[in-house]
Amino acid sequence: MSSVSVHLPQWEELPDIDLYMDQVLNLVDRYLSPIGVKPVTAAMINNYVKLNLIPKPIGKRYSRMHVAYIFAIAVLKDVFEIAQIQAGVMTEIRLLGLKNAYNLFTREIESAVSLVSRQCESSQPIALMEGSIEPDNIIMKLAALTFASKRLTTVYIQKKVNEEEKND
């Protein structure tokens, strides 16, 4: 099995112009579909706004800030309840600021996916977290590891099922 890797856009890589809903959906799907994250829909984004998970768009346009929130929610919604996502995201934003929290989040997801993938391929145990766990990053590190473990478990189950079906 080949190593699974992912690249999520850093804050600076997100569009610095406001986007319409269909542009946001295409952008998010382009980055998240390779790692098995379910597509985000317009209805989902509208619900996130209604639940105050993300600020209201301005004139039906979504800024870099909105897109960052949508990426985080899309990644985390499979492994956490919405209330937990909201509490965790708001805690990290208060501690680090939106830009820094988002950049840390994307780096931790990339790192966790890579580390869990390498562990699945290795016969020797490896550390599943890079760097130290500090009070300011414990939420991000553990959330990223949870996401990566769940996603890669799903991928490897499907690969095993496919292999068994070929052998039958």
Inform me whether the pLDDT recorded for 125 exceeds 60: no
Domain boundaries, the chain: 11-163
Nearest alpha-carbon partner for 6 in 137, 133, 148, 159: 148
pLDDT of residue 1: 42
Sequence-ordered list of residues with C-beta below 8 angstroms from that of 14, at least 6 positions apart, any chain: 64, 67, 68
Give the pair of three-digit tokens for residue 100. Answer: 């820094």
Q: Report residue 159's pLDDT band, with 50, 70 and 90 as the boundaries.
A: confident
pLDDT at 3: 58
49-95 pLDDT tens trace: 999 999 999 999 999 999 999 999 999 998 888 988 898 888 889 88
The pLDDT tens digits for 7-26 are 999 999 999 999 999 999 99
Higher pLDDT, 117 or 16: 16
- Bridge partners (DSSP) listed for residue 61: 58
Does the pTM of the predicted model rise above 0.85?
A: no
Dihedral Cα 147, 105, 68, 23, nearest 10 deg: -50
**Cα–Cα distance between 55 and 36 in angstroms, integer?**
26
pLDDT value of position 128: 56
Q: What mean pLDDT value characterizes the chain?
A: 85
Given a cut of 90, whether residue 111 has pLDDT beyond it is no
User: Hey, what are 3's tokens?
Assistant: 């190593």
Task: Say if residue 134's pLDDT is above 70.
Answer: no
Q: In sequence order, what are the residues at sequence separation of 6 or more whose Cβ sits closer than 8 angstroms to the Cβ of residue 159? A: 1
Q: Over range 33-47, report the average pLDDT.
A: 92
- How large a percentage of the chain has pLDDT more than 70? 85
What b-and-e string marks burial along 106-137, b requiring 16 or more CB atoms within 10 Å of the CB? bbbbbbbbbbbbebeeeeeeeeeeeeeeeeeb
